[in-house]
A and B are shown apart, each in its own frame.
Chain A
Amino acid sequence: MDKERIIIVKDLVKRFGDFTANDHLNFEVYKGEIFGFLGANGAGKTTAMKILCGLSKPTSGEANIAGLDIYKDTHNIRKIIGYMSQRFSLYEDLTVYENIRFFAGIYGIRGKEFKKKVQKLIEKLNIQNVAHTLVGAIPLGWKQKLAFSIAMFHEPPIVFLDEPTSGVDPHTRRQFWEMIYQAAEEGVTVFVTTHYMDEAEYCDRVSIMDHGKIAALDTPAKLRETAGAVNMNDVFLKLVRPQKAEL
């Protein structure tokens, strides 16, 4: 099958002083897939994602997002990606509606176009009641779904999610993944980091990071088969060395 490659990473290295967070990463992400990025805390997932988003500059190596070079085309990359950070990063002192309006406005979605889209979104999320409530006052699960929707509001072809479900209950996590599936069905490429192994099963392909290197990369089924494991949890435990004490 000939798949279109949308993210290409070659020999990507990121060092912070003596510490190598990303040690010669090589991988490709295909258009429309859900690409899982797994690893223990501190394995270098977030660092790699930040480089791909243009939030941080690599020490060396190459990376390409939808044909755009991460060194030269940062500004254009930003127009075509959505991003949801590990830390909840909407304005708690603005209402749901004001948050959407602000971020939409930055991407140039204003006026009539905005009104139409925001109406649809509010209906889809079923948040009519809290549309004019301060974000700080709504439950965490809703906040996460809202953050995802805002990251997707300008309809980016690629979305980066950094541990989007950490700290939410299993029910909300399930709903959240339904939203991810829906986006992927619409052709959006989803790049997601997580340390929940059950979530890895939902991905089309998974890469497992260990101490700044990619230890394995394949479909969840193949990974289980190769490692002779019953589930992703076992795969993970077999592949990933325990964190060293000096770290």
Chain B
Amino acid sequence: MKTILIFIQKEFLQIFRNRAMLPMIFVMPLIQLLILGSAATFELRNIKMEILDQDLSPASRELTARFQHSPFFIVSNNANDIADCEFALDKGWADCYLVLPEGFERDLVNRQGAEIQLVLNSINASAAALINAYSTAIATEYVQSLSDGSGQSIPMIESTYSYYFNPEMNYPSFMVPGILALLITMIGLFLSSMNIVREKEIGTIEQINITPVKKYQFIAGKLIPFWIIAQVELAFGLVIAWLLYRIPMEGSLLLLFSFTAIYLIVVLSMGLLVSTINRTQQQAMFVAWFFMVLFIILSGLFTPVDSMPGWAQKINIINPIKYFIEFIRMVLLKGSGFAETKHLFAIMGAFAGILLPLAMWQYRKRE
């Protein structure tokens, strides 16, 4: 035990003496939360829409006004014909254009069903889908308001929404817990693997191997400091997230930190594994990045896991980041307790139970 403490003391001395380390630990999360917390959003605003009103009727003006009043659209009426609209789309002055054809009002009044045409720049397919959905919503609302006014009811299915667990549809509340998960994963994976490989690179590991230090003491001495730092990082990140975004903390923080403790064993074991198969810090960095990018993209942070193809969802079964993001969202936003998350504890415990012995065994073997 004393030997492990001696290692931990030495690691902390080196970590805090490294000038790049403190900024990395404290400035990096701040910047990431600041930028990603508000930039990484699925919501679209300031959609540039060109409206070509060929009807020039009260009805078409009313619909145009509804788009103008929407917070999502910036509407212009400069186009005289379709060619102008196409040109604006080509030049990127407009993201989409809406054509209200002649006879729009007449068809509406006659209840024949009026047609309008929306043309979208679909280079960004998901943005295009969103614009379509927003536009349809505005048009539908307008038609509904007509029927309400006239007193004649049109049979129509009305859907109402209530957004549970994130009532204001606040994107930072959704993104920030995920970003916190990324941060501590990065700290755990990169710092630990690079640190061990660095000892190989500078040759000090040989001097350690010659001493009676047991492997488990060395590994514990290496991993515990990063285990502590990552937990501190999470606490720091939570404070920043609360100060900047007031993200909700519905669940128990004790539960969150307990889960993180297990999760970090998994991440640090991965770091140890990466360090056993690499001789230089560059190699370690590259391999760590490879897994990091793969796991992040599959994790459900940026795109919902449910919309991934079946094989990708299968890969996700072994993606610890996915479980951690799921957990942190459940606890912070939904206020889930141990009863609702115990399956995640079991999964993460199993990961730790497999990866740590595997990494230690691999480390011994490579000696």
List the interface of chain A (C-beta within 8 A of B): 53-55, 75, 78-79, 81, 83, 85, 87-94, 98, 102-103, 105-108, 110
Distance A93 CA – B16 CA, assembled complex (angstroms): 10
Contact indicator A89/B204 (Cβ below 8 Å): yes
Residues of A within 8 A of B210 (CB): 53-55, 78, 81, 83, 85
Q: By the criterion of a CB under 8 Å from any partner CB, how many residues of chain B are at the interface?
A: 21
Given contacts A55-B209, A106-B3, contact A98 B10 (CB under 8 A): yes
Given A55-B210, A103-B211, A110-B2, the answer on whether A90 and B204 have CB atoms closer than 8 Å is yes
CB of B213 within 8 A of CB of A106, answer yes
A103 contacts across to B, CB distance below 8 A? 207, 211
Residues of B with C-beta under 8 A to A108: 2
Which chain B positions have C-beta within 8 A of A107? 211-212
**10 shortest A-B CB distances, which residue pairs?**
A87-B203, A105-B6, A89-B207, A83-B210, A78-B212, A89-B203, A89-B204, A106-B211, A79-B212, A102-B10
List 15 A–B pairs whose Cβ atoms lie within 8 Å, in order of A's numbering: A55-B206, A55-B209, A55-B210, A75-B214, A81-B210, A83-B207, A87-B202, A90-B204, A90-B207, A91-B10, A103-B211, A105-B3, A106-B208, A106-B211, A106-B212
Asked if residues A93 and B6 are in contact (CB atoms below 8 Å), the reply is no
Closest Cβ–Cβ distance, residue A72 to chain B (whole Å): 15
Q: Check if B78 is an interface residue, CB within 8 A of chain A.
A: no
Q: Which interface residue of B6, B207, B209 has the most chain A CB atoms within 10 A?
A: B207
Q: Which of B1-24 contact A (CB under 8 A)?
A: 2-3, 6, 9-10, 13-14, 17-18
- Expressed in whole angstroms, the Cα–Cα distance for A85 and B200 within the complex equals 13
Measured CB to CB, the closest approach of chain B to A158, in angstroms, equals 12
Q: Which residue of B9, B10, B17 has the most chain A CB atoms within 10 A of its CB atom? A: B10
Mostly helix, strand, loop or mixed at chain B's interface?
helix
Report chain A residues within 8 Å CB of B213.
106
With both beta carbons as reference points, the residue of chain B lying nearest to A83 in the complex is identified as: B210
**Given A55-B210, A91-B14, are A106 and B203 neighbors across the interface (CB < 8 Å)?**
no
Chain B residues in 8 Å Cβ range of A89: 202-204, 206-207
- Across the interface, which residues of A come within 8 angstroms of B204, CB to CB? 89-91
Interface members, chain B 22-69 (any A CB < 8 Å): none
Contact B6 A106 (CB under 8 A): yes
Q: Name A88's closest neighbour in chain B (CB-CB).
A: B203
Q: Within the complex, which residue of A53, A55, A75 is in contact with B212, where a contact is CB–CB below 8 Å?
A: A75
Choose among A81, A88, A89, A110 the residue with the greatest number of B CB atoms under 10 Å from its CB. A89
Q: How far is the CA of A85 from the CA of B212 in the complex (A)?
A: 16
> Does B203 lie within 8 Å of A93, measured CB to CB?
no
| B287-314 with Cβ < 8 A to chain A | none
Report the Cα distance A83→B204, complex, angstroms: 12
Taken together as a complex, chains A and B put the C-alpha atoms of A232 and B130 apart, in Å, by: 84
| Residues in B145-196 with C-beta less than 8 Å from chain A | none
In B324-354, the 8 Å CB interface with A consists of none
> How many Å from the CB of A115 to the closest CB on chain B?
15
B203/A85 in contact, CB under 8 A:
yes
Task: Give complex CA distance A107, B209 in Å.
Answer: 12
Give the shortest distance, in Å, between B279 (CB) and chain A (any CB): 14
Q: How far, in angstroms, from A83 to B208 measured CA to CA in the complex?
A: 10
Against A, the Cβ 8 Å flags (1 = close, 0 = not) of B221-232 are 000000000000
Give the complex CA separation of A192 and B46 in angstroms: 75
A94 to B202 Cα, complex, angstroms: 14
**Considering the chains assembled together, what is the distance between the CA atoms of A75 and B206 in angstroms?**
15
Known: A79-B212, A85-B210, A87-B202. 16 other contacts (CB 8 A): A55-B206, A55-B209, A55-B210, A78-B212, A83-B207, A89-B202, A90-B204, A90-B207, A94-B14, A94-B17, A102-B6, A102-B10, A103-B207, A105-B3, A106-B211, A108-B2
